Amino acid sequence: MKDINKDCVNCPAHNINNLVKLGVDMKNFDFVVALAGNPNVGKSTVFNALTGLKQHTGNWPGKTVGRAEGAFMYNNKRYKIVDLPGTYSLLSTSVDEEIARDFILFGQPDVTIIVVDASTLERNLNLTLQVLEITDRAVLCLNLIDEAERHNLKIDDRLLSKELGIPVIPCAARQGIGIPELLKSIHQVANREFICKPYRMTNTTKNISKAVEDLNDRLKKEFPKLSNTRWIALRLLEGDQSIIDAIKTGEIGNLTIPENEN
């Protein structure tokens, strides 16, 4: 009897009650969700599972080359979801990586799903920690868990969730495993039923903090609509030439994605 219930909870018919794949129907959405992650970790596979669309997937990096958008409805809330090119770092400079970086930083998503490859978790944590520096609302999709298991890797997802301060959901997106749990977490984080406490590095000295605060104030005054000005202030202190140029030309102000485009 117990097994029958378990099968019922995991069967597609049960999930259909909660998830409606809306394809490209992005009207009147309540929340914007971004898919961030290293190349080739299954972001588009998750996107397709949630929207019913058919974004290009395959086993090599660099397939998604622009922003793809779709929608789904879950528990009567409408979500617009944005699939992004893979990126190793928010400091990356290739054109595709910049598209991902700009949306994660300035697109003001309500929830960022960080998709990671469970079989190469450590490498993926670099981007994860960078994303957690700039957002209070994120969910970690611990994807390719089947591959990790095949390599006899066991990940303590509950401990990882505790340490990162965000929900961690083991998934095998290609097989649809973990998608119901992922949806539930996206919903809880978007609706503030789950309050994230993202892991933040705290090794900044007083002088640096003061310089960041000063620059942050000036940036906010100059570009009132720009999000993540603290991140920009840090890059300025590091001497990041592309950011310095974007400020000099005023181009940085264009990175804010207007609300009606969301």
Ligand X SMILES: Nc1nc2c(ncn2[C@@H]2O[C@H](COP(=O)(O)OP(=O)(O)OP(=O)(O)O)[C@@H](O)[C@H]2O)c(=O)[nH]1
Q: What angle do CA 125, 130, 132 make, to 5 degrees?
A: 90
Block residue for tokens 């505790």: 162
135 is a contact residue toward Mg ion (CB under 5 A): no
In sequence order, the 6+-apart residues with CB closer than 8 A to the CB of 17 are none
Minimum CB distance to Mg ion, residue 118 (Å): 17
173 is a contact residue toward ligand X (CB under 6 A): yes
Minimum CB distance to ligand X, residue 23 (Å): 17
At 175, list the tokens. 């097989």
Minimum CB distance to ligand X, residue 131 (Å): 15
Residue 177 DSSP one-character state: B
Minimum CB distance to ligand X, residue 173 (Å): 4
Question: Rule CB under 6 A: which of 56-115 touch ligand X?
Answer: 57-59, 61-64, 85-86
111 vs 179 by CB, closer to ligand X:
179
Q: How far apart are CA 105 and CA 134, in angstroms?
A: 7
Stretch that binds ligand X, among 40-48, 69-77, 217-225, 251-259 (CB under 6 A): 40-48
CA atoms within 13 A on the CB side of 101: 18
Q: For the chain, what percentages of helix, strand and coil (3-state, to nearest 5) are there?
A: 45, 15, 35
The length of the chain in residues reads 262
β-partners of residue 74 are 19, 77
86 vs 107 by CB, closer to ligand X:
86
180 is a contact residue toward ligand X (CB under 6 A): no
Minimum CB distance to ligand X, residue 200 (Å): 26
Give the residues lining the site for ligand X (CB under 6 A).
37, 39-45, 57-59, 61-64, 85-86, 143-144, 146-147, 172-174
